[in-house]
Amino acid sequence: MILIAGGGVTGLSAARHLQDCGEDYVLLERAATVGGLCRSMKARGYTFDWSGHLFCPREPWVASWVNQLLDGKLQWFQRESCIYMRGMEVPFPFQAHLGALSREDNMECLASFLLERAREDGSGEDQGWPAWIRKAFGDAMAQLFFFPYHEKLWGVPLEELSAEGIEWSVPRPTIQEVVEGALGARNPFMGYNARLCYPSDGGIEIVPKAMAMGLRGVRTMAKLDRILWQEKAAMVSRYGRVGYRKLISTIPLSSLLGLLEPPLGALLDPAPTPRAVSIWVLNVGVTRPSACRYHWIYFPEKAFPFFRVGSYTAFGPHLAPPGRSSFYVEIPCHWVRELSKDEMVKQALEALVRCGVMGSLKEVEIVLPVKIQVAYVIHDVRRTKWLPQVLSVLDSHGIKCAGRYGAWGYGTMEHAIIQGREAARWALEQ
């Protein structure tokens, strides 16, 4: 029997593949419903997700499969996104739209970029994050946008970060594209998320619910207490001891390591030090229609407590009552650690008015804060040393870690679906 820990998108993908192949499995989800962080909640006529969960499939089979599960309810959109800085809206990606900056910033960024490209020698691919950014875009763009934004997001010295595992998500335009952008051209099709999907009915939670439909081995309210990995057994609340042949873990790796008995410490050198960013997501409903046309906006400046604000109703008008709009506001916990929750909400709402996302505080109809304890894995230099060893040791003892948090990395919903299928294939081949 295959045991799956976690009922998010990755775990559900693995379960569907195992069931389709006729394999016995049990999926354990500690919450009352499946979905993990891919879930929705309703209040006063609004439907809010646990932050912006947009589906950006690039593999045709993934889009087709999910759309079939949803009975054709996937809607496609062309990305609308920008960076708000110095009172301006710079189209995303920043590095391909320098023409939206002031003439001085435009020329400085372009010159720095061209200088860096002229002396590029192809070395240093394994350097840290700051060096990677400078090498890719030049020092001026790094100082103006990339460094301030990532300092706010990660909350650790940038010198501690590695480019490995996150560099794929940052578009690297050609010299021609950067020059054209500096002259005012638009580059709307750049990046992995240039085209995106969202359900035409309901919130994002209908995706995992559709994935779970008909699955016979799902057990909710089933909390993993211990994993006796040497005995290939797990102790589960309400179910007791559960033996397994293989275990697919999609729960955060930091949590998994704490459940292993005995601990893996003696088998690992260096010791694992999983770190992640926790965030507050403020779900905001306002009494103004079509309040924001952008799917999301980045905020690198210190004057704003949030690093990203998105509009649910820009891609899902059905998510708010008629004549209303709704937003998701992402705030790093480390950025507001000295504030009470009420003060954090107050400052965030005032900042939304300052940047023009809201017209006034009087528009606010509802605010629902949600705290996500493990939101963004910190890709520090230490992670690149211990993670491969941890995953290899677990694999050798019949435990496959998969998904954004299970494999302790950064990925999309599509990656989660693919990794779930690959983990199921791994279990079937052993």
- Same fold? 2-40+53-75+203-268+381-429, 276-377: no
Q: Give the 3-state secondary structure of residue 428.
A: helix
Beta 246-249 vs 399-401: how paired, if at all? parallel
Is 144's pLDDT higher than 70? yes
**Predicted confidence (pLDDT) per residue in 50-62, tens digit:** 999 999 999 999 9
* Domain covering 2-40+53-75+203-268+381-429 in this structure, CATH number: 3.50.50.60
Angstrom distance (rounded) from CA 218 to CA 26: 6
Residue 122 binned pLDDT confidence (cut-offs 50, 70, 90): low
Is 430's pLDDT higher than 70? no
pLDDT more than 90, % of the chain: 93
Determine the pLDDT at residue 83. 98
Angstrom distance (rounded) from CA 304 to CA 282: 14
Instruction: Using the structure block, give the residue that is written with the tokens 């006034």.
Output: 360
Is 406's pLDDT higher than 90? yes
Is 123's pLDDT higher than 90? no
**CB environment 34-62: b (16+ within 10 A), e (fewer):** bbbbbbbeeeeebbbbbbbbbbbbeeeeb
Is 188's pLDDT higher than 90? no
Q: For the ranges 7-16, 95-104, 286-295, which has the lowest average pLDDT?
A: 286-295
Average pLDDT (147-155) is: 97
Residue 428 binned pLDDT confidence (cut-offs 50, 70, 90): very high
Determine the pLDDT at residue 320. 97
> Who contacts 228 (Cβ-Cβ below 8 Å, separation ≥6)?
234, 235, 261
Looking at the domain covering 276-377, what would its CATH class be?
A: alpha beta
Residue 119 binned pLDDT confidence (cut-offs 50, 70, 90): confident
**Higher pLDDT residue, 290 or 247?**
247
Return mean pLDDT, the chain: 95
Q: What is the pTM of this model?
A: 0.95
Determine the pLDDT at residue 125. 53
Beta 195-199 vs 74-78: how paired, if at all? antiparallel
Average pLDDT (318-347) is: 97
Q: What is the 3-state secondary structure (H, E, C) of 380-413?
A: EHHHHHHHHHHHHHHHHCCEEECCCCCCCCCCCH
The upper half-sphere exposure of residue 291, i.e. CA atoms within 13 Å in the direction of its Cβ, equals 30
Determine the pLDDT at residue 210. 97
Angstrom distance (rounded) from CA 372 to CA 332: 10
Rg (CA), the chain: 22
> Who contacts 318 (Cβ-Cβ below 8 Å, separation ≥6)?
47, 200, 201, 202
Q: What is the DSSP letter of 271?
A: P
**Predicted confidence (pLDDT) per residue in 255-311, tens digit:** 999 999 999 987 888 889 999 999 999 999 999 998 899 999 999 999 999 999 999
- CA-closest candidate to residue 66, choices 9, 104, 112, 123: 9
Q: How far is CA 278 from each of CA 310, 336, 341, 371, 372, rounded to the nearest angstrom?
A: 18, 11, 14, 7, 6
Q: What amino acid is encoded at 122 in this protein?
A: G
Handedness of CA 182, 185, 188, 189 (dihedral sign): negative
Q: How far is CA 122 from each of CA 116, 127, 134, 135, rounded to the nearest angstrom?
A: 11, 12, 13, 10
Domain ranges of the chain: 2-40+53-75+203-268+381-429, 94-118+129-185, 276-377
